[in-house]
Amino acid sequence: MRTMQMTGLDELSDKLALAERAAQGIAKASLYEGAGVVADAIRGSLSQIKTEPYRYANSDNKRLPSPEEKALVVNAQYGVAKHQGSGAEVNTVVGIAGDGYGMIGNKRVPVAMVLRSIQSGTSFMVAQPVVRKAINRAKGEASAKIAAEAEARLQQIFKD
């Protein structure tokens, strides 16, 4: 009967156990990199919002956002929320940082509501889905960034 002897399996087993223990950290770091790509894409797309200086209704009885509304959403701070999850499953949200309010004239308004009105439209405002388009355009780059970061972290574990 033939036999085969393999060496180094204990070391491989130890590295696999280490990778399992580090899975959530790897997932968080990787997701953070990908979410940063998405946040940058959203931030860049906001400059494409069309505006009109007057609030007169156009032929559809809908208006474009005012320059003040555009400035509010463009100048808001966007970031990545704290990661949540257990094990290797990690979730995060890209959103508006700070208290989420800004000033239009002398009124304090929630930035998210203004951005949602621009994104989806209202009964009086034309929809401009710039955020959705930015997210769809950034998906490929974000996925590649997530995979590259995870691969780099795993290579560090198995290299040592």
Which range marks the domain in which residue 135 is found?
11-159
Specify whether the CB–CB gap between 94 and 81 falls below 8 A. Answer: yes
Dist CA 49 CA 128 (whole Å): 7
Whether 85 is in a domain gets the answer yes
This model's pTM is above 0.85 = no
Place of tokens 């974000």: 142
Domain total in the chain: 1
Report mean pLDDT in 10-residue bins for the chain, 160 residues: 69 72 80 89 90 69 87 85 68 76 91 91 89 92 92 80
Dist CA 29 CA 160 (whole Å): 19
* Residue 158, Ramachandran bin (φ over 0: left; ψ between -120 and 50: alpha; else beta): alpha
Question: For residue 73, what are its two tokens?
Answer: 């959403």
Whether 129 is in a domain gets the answer yes
Q: What is the DSSP letter of 40?
A: H
Residues 6+ apart with CB under 8 A from 112: 95, 96, 100
Question: For residue 114, what are its two tokens?
Answer: 């203004």
pLDDT at 87: 59
pLDDT at 153: 85
What helix, strand, coil percent values describe the chain, rounded to 5?
55, 15, 30
pLDDT at 140: 93
Whether 80 is in a domain gets the answer yes
Whether 97 is in a domain gets the answer yes
